[in-house]
């Protein structure tokens, strides 16, 4: 069995489904509260095998990898003092870039095939417009400047 990695279910204000297989067409076997610590292994195809946080760790099911905050950034505490700030009706919110010890790319378009327009330091705060997509629009001074991958944003 592959080594299990510690992670956290993204904080989105509710629960995230754990399924009996790696796909949305599989039944939901459990719901895990957002922000919970889990252990996982990459399964492939955008899915992870999820294990309990208890000892010994037991297999629970499968979760979409986009719902897991992973990497060294998770081991540092999430800074709640800057938790999402609502910018009235514009739909723009403040979000923290996942802390991984370097920089994260802001791209010209919604995909890694687009050029880099800016690099932001991991752990810094940016302004985004949540859209439920894998690539999130980024704003600076109220002007759209590019896109960041959802896995690089805490609480998304």
Q: Where are the domains of the chain?
A: 5-70, 80-152
| pLDDT tens per residue, range 113-130 | 999 999 998 888 888 887
Determine the pLDDT at residue 90.
Answer: 60
Q: What are 62's strand-pairing partners? A: 19, 49
Determine the pLDDT at residue 1.
Answer: 53
Check: CB of residue 108 under 8 Å from CB of residue 146.
yes
- Band of residue 42 on the pLDDT scale cut at 50, 70, 90: confident
- CATH code for the structural domain at 5-70: 2.30.30.40
CATH fit for domain 80-152, picks 1.20.120.1200, 3.30.565.10, 1.10.3210.10, 2.30.30.40 = 2.30.30.40
| pLDDT tens per residue, range 51-104 | 877 666 788 899 988 888 764 444 443 333 333 444 443 677 777 888 777 899
Element (H, E) at 32: strand 28-33
pTM of the model: 0.46
- Band of residue 39 on the pLDDT scale cut at 50, 70, 90: confident
- 5-70 shares its CATH topology with 80-152: yes
16 vs 35: CA distance, rounded Å: 10
């Amino acid at each position: 069995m592959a080594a299990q990695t510690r992670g956290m279910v993204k904080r989105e204000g509710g629960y995230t489904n754990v399924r009996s297989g790696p796909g949305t067409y599989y039944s939901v076997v459990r719901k895990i509260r957002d922000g919970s610590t889990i252990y996982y292994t990459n399964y492939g195809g955008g899915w992870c095998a999820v294990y309990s946080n208890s000892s010994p760790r037991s297999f629970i099911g499968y979760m979409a990898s986009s719902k897991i905050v992973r990497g060294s950034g998770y081991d540092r505490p999430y800074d709640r003092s800057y938790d999402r700030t609502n910018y009235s009706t514009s739909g723009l919110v403040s979000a923290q870039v996942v802390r991984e010890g370097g920089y994260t790319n802001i791209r010209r378009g919604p995909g890694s095939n687009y050029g880099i327009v800016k690099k932001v330091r991991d752990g810094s705060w940016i302004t985004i417009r949540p859209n439920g997509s894998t690539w999130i629009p980024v704003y600076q001074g109220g002007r759209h400047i590019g896109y960041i991958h959802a896995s690089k944003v805490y609480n998304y």
